[in-house]
Structure 1
Amino acid sequence: MDDLRQTIRDYVIKEYVEEGDETEIELQTPLISGGIVDSFSMVSLKRFLEKKYDIQIPDDEATPEAFDNV
């Protein structure tokens, strides 16, 4: 797993998986359609990535489909 994907996985686990929950987050785990991340959480994840990597993710590319897995 590359650093970016590991960072996303770690962030999702820290922010959205409740302690004691045994949900496994893998590369193809459906984050949005699986109910782990909702639309508000997706915006938070987008902002986290933009800040951490000093990048801009255009709003038209920040779709539920684009954020549905690591």
Structure 2
Amino acid sequence: MNDVKQAIRTHILNEFLPGESEANLRDDTPLRTSGILDSMSTLNLVTFLEQSFGITIDAHETGVDNFDRVDTIAALVARKQAGEA
């Protein structure tokens, strides 16, 4: 799971927070509720996750519950890889 979290963090830093220190993006840093991710950046992240991890994320799964923290995004990826909803 740490590899998944690292890939997510790296993508977020490169795409949405260029120049930001990796130390400032923790597993529990709010992403959607703080404005780091908006609807367009969430779609970008969904595409990255689907391509990188061979999963499909449904539109109803892209809300704050699953996409507000690196922890919850990684948990969604793990559930998808395990064949769960």
**TM-score if structure 1 supplies the norm length?**
0.86
Which residue number corresponds to residue 24 of structure 1?
24
Q: Distance in 2 between matches of 1:18 and 1:34?
A: 16
Which residue number corresponds to residue 4 of structure 1?
4
Identity percentage over the alignment? 35
By how many angstroms is 1:62 displaced? 1.5
Q: Distance in 2 between matches of 1:18 and 1:36?
A: 12
Task: Please give the per-residue CA displacement for 1:1-55, whole angstroms capped at 9, x wherever unaligned.
Answer: 6111111011000101132x45710000001111111111001100110011111
By how many angstroms is 1:65 displaced? 2.5
Show structure 1 runs of 5+ residues with no match. none
Q: How does 1:1-70 map to 2 (within 5 A)?
A: 2-19=2-19, 21-22=20-21, 24-70=24-70
Task: Name the structure with the higher helix share.
Answer: 2
Show structure 2 runs of 5+ residues with no match. 71-85
Helix, strand or coil for the counterpart of 2:65?
coil
**TM-score if structure 2 supplies the norm length?**
0.72
* RMSD, matched Cα: 1.6
